[in-house]
């Protein structure tokens, strides 16, 4: 069984790592890896391959950055002749980035069976590019592997036959649990000049937060208040760095002694910083899940989440992007508010095993 696995952007790498490792255990599977090149900076891509032992991609399409339509089209144009040549028995895509949707479209057009890992998540917010990617990919997939039960419900409501849907758990948590021991052995916070539980960690990259200067400025206002109570470590996504510069906000932000800008971090450093933080503030999808497993309070700077189990069972709380609500959320946590701390069902480190078992059974 020749399986083509597709990756493109940073959050794909920790999801594909356990799948590739599991597939390589079986002689009846020939797993190949294609990197679309959506992310290409070393600290957004290569570093994760090294840290997570992901094999060097068999092919790199090197598409780079552009508008969503341009990027999607470039990936499709480059992938079609390659899939035609390699003729895999299956294409596996993960997550919800442009590379995921582009590859799903090409596989479907070539009648190659398609598996989507992390299927069924819905924010019900079609202004999010990822929501479009999720809906298109799920409507084309033959195997839909879900991380939480809400995903099954969403897919059934959209008319996906039940025999295509498989609730398997969360491959990103497979990677986290595998690396946990490694980061527990090091005091990563100390390397960044902070003590455990005495700092906050912030990540921002959603277009809805960083592309509108007023919204971005409001979030930085909240950080100006917050850093007086708790140092804030802020690894900057390239898009965010660019937007802060364009909006002329670096001058003001650099006067804040305890808002500390960092370069994008590798997987182990970021995981280590999350695990020792007092709280995490983010607009990422995956970080809501990782903080849930780590038991660290998470404030999500969005009005909705496609991952509701992180609220009902985990440590996540939605606070939106307005300064007052962010600060109120921070104060609640500093006052001792604890979120739930259950581990969602099947987030146990064995999701990749379940997925590969189902694919081989087929």
Tell me which residues are annotated as active site. Answer: 205
Rounded Cα gap, residues 72 and 69, in angstroms: 5
- Our finding on whether 249 is near ligand UD1 (CB under 6 A) is no
State which of positions 160-219 bind ligand UD1 (CB under 6 A): 205
Binding residue for ligand UD1 (CB under 6 A) from 1, 60, 125, 129?
129
Strand-pairing partners, residue 109, are none
Q: Which stretch binds ligand UD1 (CB under 6 A): 24-32, 36-44, 86-94, 155-163?
A: 36-44
- Are the C-beta atoms of residues 107 and 91 closer than 8 Å to each other? yes
Lay out the site mask for ligand UD1 across 63-92 (x = CB under 6 A, - = otherwise). --x---------------------------
What is the per-residue DSSP string for 41-53?
SGGGTHHHHHHTT
- Our finding on whether 15 is near ligand UD1 (CB under 6 A) is no
Q: Which stretch binds ligand UD1 (CB under 6 A): 85-93, 233-241, 340-348, 354-362?
A: 233-241
- Are the C-beta atoms of residues 268 and 175 closer than 8 Å to each other? no
Binding residue for ligand UD1 (CB under 6 A) from 14, 97, 301, 323?
97
Q: Which stretch binds ligand UD1 (CB under 6 A): 86-94, 146-154, 236-244, 301-309?
A: 236-244
- Which is closer to ligand UD1, CB of 86 or CB of 132? 132
> For the range 305-311, what are the long-range contacts, defined as Cβ-Cβ under 8 Å and sequence gap of 24 or more?
305/123, 306/121, 306/122, 306/123, 306/130, 306/131, 306/134, 307/121, 307/147, 307/148, 308/148, 308/150, 309/148, 309/149, 309/150, 309/344, 310/344
Q: Site residues (CB under 6 A) for ligand UD1?
A: 9-11, 38-41, 44, 65, 97-98, 129-130, 205, 237-239, 242
């Amino acid at each position: 069984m020749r399986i083509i696995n597709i990756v493109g952007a940073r959050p794909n790498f920790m999801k594909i790592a356990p799948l590739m490792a599991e597939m390589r255990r079986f002689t009846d599977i020939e797993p190949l890896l294609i990197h679309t090149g959506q992310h290409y900076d070393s600290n957004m891509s290569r570093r994760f391959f090294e840290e997570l032992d992901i094999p060097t991609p068999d092919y790199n399409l090197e598409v780079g950055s552009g508008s969503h339509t341009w990027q999607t089209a470039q990936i499709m144009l480059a992938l079609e002749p390659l899939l035609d040549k390699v003729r895999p028995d299956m294409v596996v895509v993960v997550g919800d980035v442009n590379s995921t949707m582009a590859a799903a479209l090409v596989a479907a057009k070539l009648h190659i069976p398609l598996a989507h890992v992390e299927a069924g998540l819905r924010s019900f917010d079609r202004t999010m590019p990822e929501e479009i990617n999720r809906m298109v990919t799920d409507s084309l997939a033959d195997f839909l592997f879900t991380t939480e039960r809400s995903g099954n419900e969403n897919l059934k409501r959209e008319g996906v036959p039940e025999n295509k849907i498989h609730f398997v758990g969360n491959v990103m948590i497979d990677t986290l649990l595998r690396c946990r021991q490694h980061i527990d052995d090091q005091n990563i916070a100390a390397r960044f000049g902070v003590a455990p539980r005495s700092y906050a960690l912030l990540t921002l990259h959603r277009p809805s937060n960083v592309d509108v200067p007023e919204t971005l400025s409001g979030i930085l206002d909240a950080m100006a208040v917050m850093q007086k109570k708790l140092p804030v470590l802020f690894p900057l996504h390239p898009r965010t760095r660019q937007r802060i510069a364009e909006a002329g906000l670096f001058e003001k932000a650099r006067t804040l002694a305890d808002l500390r800008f960092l370069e994008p971090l590798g997987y182990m450093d970021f995981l280590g910083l999350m695990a020792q933080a007092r709280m995490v503030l983010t607009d990422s999808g995956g970080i809501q899940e990782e903080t849930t497993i780590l038991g660290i309070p998470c404030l999500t700077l969005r009005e909705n989440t496609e991952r509701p189990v992180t609220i009902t069972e985990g440590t996540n709380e939605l606070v939106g992007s307005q300064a007052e609500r962010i600060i109120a959320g921070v104060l609640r946590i500093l006052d001792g508010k604890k979120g739930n701390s259950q581990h969602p069902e099947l987030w146990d480190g064995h999701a990749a095993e379940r997925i590969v078992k189902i694919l081989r059974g087929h």
